[in-house]
Amino acid sequence: MTESKPLPPPEMSRIIKLSDIGGTPLTGEIVADEGQRQALAKRFDLPSIESIQADYRLEAKEHEIRFSGHIRASLHQACAISGQPFPVNLAETFNIIFVEKTDLPAGEEEIELAAEDCDVIEYEAAQIDLGEAIAQTLYLALDPYPRGPEADSVAEKKGLKSEEEAGPFGALAALKDKLG
């Protein structure tokens, strides 16, 4: 039997103990340093991350910790068509709820969410990691199929179909043309 290796610490970890939150909401800012940005760029398979900054509000409620605010980032993504890096500026609002991890089997957990509550992260050991939550928010905000400024011309040179031509309606249009 092999032993599992412990996971490396998150690249941008900002641990907050629940006892430090108290009854008054906390506000603050998280800014990633050069080493953290390089490590996150590697983790997210990005050519580079020039800046990550988040302003936040942290508030303890009865059975949850609310973490909300705005994240801004300047980075480079590789075009899905050409592979060439191009600059991207992201600005996202986030609303995360931290809830205590339970020992219920998967699928039996009950977490009630309101429409505005879209992300839930479990915590344990009476602490939460704000930096990792920001890193995950950044990753989810990235375009999974980024198209750089040269994408259309490269696609045309390579003979790739556009999304309209390659989709189901494009196939139907081609069939209609063949049938006359």
pLDDT value for 66: 92
Whether 64 and 101 share a structural domain:
yes
Whether 73 and 141 share a structural domain:
yes
Whether 27 and 56 share a structural domain:
yes
Whether 167 and 88 share a structural domain:
no
Whether 110 and 170 share a structural domain:
no
User: Which one is predicted more confidently, 101 or 56?
Assistant: 56
Cα angle 76, 85, 133; round to 5: 30
Q: Which residues pair with 29 in a beta bridge?
A: 55
Q: Which residues contact 89 (CB under 8 A, 6 or more apart)?
A: 72, 73, 74
The total domain count for the chain is 2
**pTM as predicted:** 0.75
pLDDT value for 115: 42
What range defines the domain where residue 155 resides? 150-180
pLDDT value for 40: 95
Whether 127 and 111 share a structural domain:
yes
pLDDT value for 76: 97
Reported residue count of the chain is: 180
Tell me the pLDDT of the chain averaged across its residues: 81
Least confident of 6-10, 60-64, 106-110: 106-110
Residue 6 lies in a domain: no
pLDDT value for 133: 93
Residue 10 lies in a domain: no
pLDDT value for 39: 95
Whether 107 and 24 share a structural domain:
yes
In the numeric block, which tokens belong to residue 156?
């045309």
Through-space distance between the first and last CA atoms of the chain, rounded to whole angstroms: 65
Whether 84 and 155 share a structural domain:
no
Whether 30 and 102 share a structural domain:
yes
pLDDT value for 158: 65
- 94-116 pLDDT, tens digit each: 999 988 887 655 555 555 545 45
Residue 23 has pLDDT above 60, yes or no: yes
Query: Could you tell me the pLDDT band of residue 6, with boundaries at 50, 70 and 90?
Result: low
Integer Cα distance of 110 and 30 in angstroms? 31
Residue 134 lies in a domain: yes
Residue 9 lies in a domain: no
- 127-173 pLDDT, tens digit each: 899 999 999 999 999 999 888 887 676 666 766 655 555 556 555 55
Query: Could you tell me the pLDDT band of residue 51, with boundaries at 50, 70 and 90?
Result: very high
